[in-house]
Amino acid sequence: MPDGVEAPRSERVRSVKRRLTLGSGIATVSNMASPRSAPLRSRLVRLVTERVAAARRDLAMLRHTFGGTAPPPLVTRTSPRAWPAPRRPLPVRSVEVTAVERPTPDAVVAYLAPVDGAPLTHRPGEFLTLLVPVDGVEHPRAYSIWTAAGDPGGAGVAIKRVAGGLVSNHLNDTLAPGQRFAARGPSGSFVVTPDAERRRHYVLLAGGSGITPLLAILRAGLSGEPRSRFTLLYGNRGVAHVLFPDVLDRLAGEHADRVVVRHVLDEPSDALPCGRGPLGAEALGAELDGLEIADDADTTWLLCGPAPMLAAAHEVLDARGVAPERRLEERFRSPAQQVVGPTTLQPLTVRDGGRLFETVVAPGQTLLEAGVAAGAPLRFSCAMGGCAACRVRLVSGQVAMDEPNCLSPVEAAAGLVLACVARPLTPVVVEVP
């Protein structure tokens, strides 16, 4: 047939008969020219078109994956409403160490200021995530800010040395003024925003460097919530390991009618009035009885410290009938050994309202890494399982998460996972809360 000349209808129909295939076998087509076959022809054309489009998407996804570039997301609008503005990961900024203090044998305090001179505003209890380079590899670590916004010298963070901790030991050994780090934040959900009209009793339970966010909350509350009072129970190994003792003494002296500070030490000393630790369930119960702390609807419990102390605190509070909704907790965790991830590509679908983002997770990748690379609006901050900013709901599939992490048993039971430490074991669908 010469170019530009259309074949007769009967010949075109015979050509379609020869080419059509469906599933794993050949579709036998007869009477294609009859009027009764019109619905079949339409259905077959639609199926073939859909299969070709799907094959093209799959080939494009594999080409990007094996070529080392981020595959484009497949975005489908399933709702007539306007799409909301996409959430974005917290931006990275450069901060400089303006001063360093070493107040205890196992901790260093650093003061950080943005290099660009912009103010570093934060809410009481929030943390900064520093991207710390060690041997050419950046390691994200979250450190709570204990200073108030606007304090001279910048945002103060305390870094406690952890046995076997790669980053904590590196910073304790090498941190010096003038060093610069990439940082995300401030961010976090362990926050109490002062309200001048509120009247509450805040009971602060701290262990070790867990004092840092609680000190920020205490300072902000004393200045911004004048009708509230505060009781701090602070556990440490010994008097030499107490962080910010002078600041705590000053606050207790200046606000004697509103602040009680009680130290609990594993190794008691005459140099500091204290109870005997460690701050386990028995010691904590005795301290609460001694301080005559009565739980009521106006009492808020704020907990921050190592996992054993927090477990003991929840045991005591459960026994005393303290409602979970009146407890706010932050856990300080070191990154754990990564779980064994998938050895093959696993499909990932991220739902966000009326949008769908589809991509694949390569071996070694987390849901967060693959999702963000594909343009999905996943929020994150610490990227190490310590802040829960990246929580998503697992709709279907199975994941393995690095342990320990900050996901609570209640959150886990509700089907939430942390995208930054979760790796898919099967095809996975998650939903942005």
What are 195-204's pLDDT values in tens digits? Answer: 999 999 999 9
Look at 81-85, 113-117, 183-187 and tell me which has the smallest mean pLDDT: 81-85
Q: What is the pLDDT of residue 247?
A: 95
Q: What is the pLDDT of residue 27?
A: 36
- Comparing CA positions, the residue from 343, 337, 431 lying closest to residue 385 is 337
The C-alpha angle with vertex 433 and arms to 421 and 347, in degrees rounded to 5, equals 55
Rounded (10°) angle between helices 245-254 and 211-224: 20
Q: What is the pLDDT of residues 13-42, one digit of tens each?
A: 444 344 333 333 333 334 444 445 555 555
Domain ranges of the chain: 9-61, 92-187, 201-331
Look at 2-16, 69-83, 125-139, 302-316 and tell me which has the smallest mean pLDDT: 69-83
Rounded (10°) angle between helices 281-290 and 307-319: 60
What would the mean pLDDT of 244-269 be, rounded to a whole number? 95
CA atoms within 13 A on the CB side of 422: 29
What residues does 23 pair with on adjacent strands? Answer: none
What would the mean pLDDT of 115-143 be, rounded to a whole number? 90
What would the mean pLDDT of 304-329 be, rounded to a whole number? 91
Task: Please give the share of the chain, as a percent, with pLDDT higher than 90.
Answer: 52
What would the mean pLDDT of 32-60 be, rounded to a whole number? 53
Q: What is the pLDDT of residue 294?
A: 78
pTM over 0.85: no
Whether 374 contacts 366, CB under 8 Å: no
Q: What is the pLDDT of residue 355?
A: 92
Q: What does the alpha-carbon distance between residue 11 and residue 8 come to, in Å, rounded to a whole number?
A: 5
Look at 44-53, 347-356, 413-422 and tell me which has the smallest mean pLDDT: 44-53
Confidence of residue 177 (pLDDT cuts 50, 70, 90): very high
Whether 364 contacts 296, CB under 8 Å: no
Whether 333 contacts 401, CB under 8 Å: no
Q: Could you tell me the end-to-end alpha-carbon distance of the chain, in angstroms, rounded to an integer?
A: 60
CATH number (3.90.245.10, 3.30.70.3270, 3.40.50.80, 1.10.3720.10) of 201-331 reads 3.40.50.80
Q: Which residues contact 309 (CB under 8 A, 6 or more apart)?
A: 205, 207, 210, 235, 278, 279, 280
Confidence of residue 433 (pLDDT cuts 50, 70, 90): confident
Q: What does the alpha-carbon distance between residue 46 and residue 286 come to, in Å, rounded to a whole number?
A: 74
Q: What is the pLDDT of residues 385-421, one digit of tens each?
A: 877 788 999 999 999 998 778 787 888 899 999 998 9
Say yes or no to pLDDT of 99 above 90. Answer: yes
The pair of structure tokens assigned to 427 is 């095809």
The pair of structure tokens assigned to 84 is 């909301």
Confidence of residue 336 (pLDDT cuts 50, 70, 90): low
Task: Please give the share of the chain, as a percent, with pLDDT higher than 70.
Answer: 77
Confidence of residue 89 (pLDDT cuts 50, 70, 90): low
Q: What does the alpha-carbon distance between residue 424 and residue 422 come to, in Å, rounded to a whole number?
A: 7
Domain 92-187: CATH superfamily, name plus number: Translation factors (2.40.30.10)
The residue with tokens 């996992």 is 307
What would the mean pLDDT of 343-372 be, rounded to a whole number? 91
Task: Round the average pLDDT of the chain to a whole number and report it.
Answer: 81
The pair of structure tokens assigned to 177 is 């003024």
Say yes or no to pLDDT of 167 above 80. Answer: yes
